[in-house]
Structure formats: C-alpha cells, structure tokens
Amino acid sequence: MNGAIFFSGQYGSTAQYAGWISDATGLPVFDVKHADADPSKFDFLILGSSVITYNLTISKWVKRNLAGIQKKPIVLFTVSGAPAGPKLDGWVADSLAEIPMSKMRHVALRGRMNPKTLGWWTRMILIMGAMKNRDPQARKEELAGFDYMDKSGIEPITKMVQQLQSNEAPVFQ
C-alpha cells in the first residue's frame, strides 16, 4: 500500500507536523494549495488540517476531491488550539460530513498561535471570539497566544502508517 500526506494550514504549524510525519515515514507530502496535490494515485491518505473559526481548513479541498478520497483509509490529523474532546469532534464531523467516520481515524494535535504575527482583522476576530468564549483557559489563549507544538504527538500516526504499509491495518476493519 502506498500513501501520501496532504495538508492544509495557514500559519505553519500544520505544515511542520506534516513535515515531521513525512520525515518519520518517508511518505511524500503535498500542500493542498498546489495543483499537483492529487490524492487519487494513493492507496491510503494522511490528511492534515488546521482548525480556524470552528472549521477544518481542508474541508473545501476534500469536497472537491471526494471521488479520489472517500473509498480510501484515511488518517486525519487536526491542528488546533482546542485539545481533543467533544468540541473538536463536532467541528470535524461538521467540516467533513461527506466522509464516513468508519473510514477515518482522527488524531488531534495542538498547534501554535502568536497574535503578534497576525493581521489586525484576524486579531479582531480572535478578540471577538474570546469575548464570547465561556472557557477561561481558551479565552486566555485566544488573547495571548500559545505554543503546544509537540513532535511526539505524531507517534500514533506513524504507527498507523506502518500498519497500513504492511497491510495489517486492523484499525480500519
């Protein structure tokens, strides 16, 4: 089985995780912004997506490429401020409603955000989001930023890639 990593990110943390996974597994890596990102040639897919305003940024690309994606085993990794949990699961289900969850394994990774590197409009969006957020920790992170990048978080993904490459893949049956 041959696979590849396709990722969508805006500020570099999803790209960094995708690069770490590629280094650890030898799988090729494609930014979905580039036209050569064609998933149809591969047997299994590692999809990486940042989460921006409760939405997976890869969702439009998934809709456009559905025919080449939906029958394949998929390992999805999300990169977000929020930790793993029902809130994040809900955003995944809403953003990728076309993909049967039984075909997909989800690994939640946490990213990085530095408000000083963002444009003023994006900072306004974050400030407005923080004002509405009832979770005090999440509110603090939206205003002050955070850095949860952790290379060891990719381990479950590299294990699943090994299983898929050796055709064991019990996780997908």
Query: What is the SS3 assignment for 84?
Result: coil
Strands annotated E in 9-115? 29-31, 44-52, 55-56, 74-80, 104-110, 112-113
Distance CA 127, CA 122 (A): 9
Q: Does 112 bind ligand FMN (CB under 6 A)?
A: yes
Q: Does 37 bind ligand FMN (CB under 6 A)?
A: no
Q: Does 139 bind ligand FMN (CB under 6 A)?
A: no
Q: Does 109 bind ligand FMN (CB under 6 A)?
A: no
Q: Does 95 bind ligand FMN (CB under 6 A)?
A: no
What's the helix, strand, coil split of the chain in %, to 5? 45, 20, 30
Options 4-12, 23-31, 34-42, 158-166: segment touching ligand FMN (CB under 6 A): 4-12
- Candidates 54, 101, 105, 156; binder of ligand FMN (CB under 6 A) is 54
Q: Summarize as ranges the residues that interact with ligand FMN (CB under 6 A).
A: 9-14, 50-54, 79-82, 111-113, 118, 122, 125-126
